[in-house]
């Protein structure tokens, strides 16, 4: 692995939509956890990102929102308790 890519923070993908009630709170939880752990959040808004967002949602088999993809494999959907989200990040990113 090249040195530059090994120094990058791990990525968490957050799938959202404009009318998703729980998407905002999950986004806030992830932002709060960023203060404790080094990772980047890539938000895919299915309302605004159109075809590209739909392709990624299909790739990760996203069927409900909000959805969080950790380390390219672990999928979490719906509203999650902060502790549950934090534990998933620790298990799969660090």
Cis peptide bond prior to 66, omega within 30° of 0: yes
Domain ranges of the chain: 3-89
- Residue 22 tokens read as 């729980």
Cβ proximity of 39 and 32 under 8 Å: no
d(CA 86, CA 30): 8
Question: Each residue of 17-27: pLDDT tens digit?
Answer: 999 999 999 99
Q: What is the pLDDT of residues 59-94, one digit of tens each?
A: 999 999 999 999 887 889 999 899 999 999 999 887
- pLDDT tens for 4-19 read 444 578 999 999 999 9
3-state DSSP assignment of residue 87: helix
- Cβ neighbours for 84, distance < 8 A, ≥ 6 positions apart: 76
Residue 3 pLDDT > 90 = no
User: Could you tell me the fold of the domain covering 3-89?
Assistant: Glutaredoxin (3.40.30)
């Amino acid at each position: 692995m090249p040195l530059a890519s090994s120094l990058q923070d791990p990525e968490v993908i957050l799938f959202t939509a404009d009318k998703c009630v729980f998407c905002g709170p999950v986004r806030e939880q992830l932002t709060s956890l960023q203060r404790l752990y080094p990772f980047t959040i890539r938000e895919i808004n299915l309302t605004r990102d159109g075809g590209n967002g739909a392709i990624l949602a299909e790739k990760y088999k996203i069927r409900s929102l909000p959805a969080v993809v950790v380390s390219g494999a672990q999928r979490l959907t719906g509203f999650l308790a902060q502790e549950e989200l934090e534990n998933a990040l620790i298990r799969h990113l660090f």
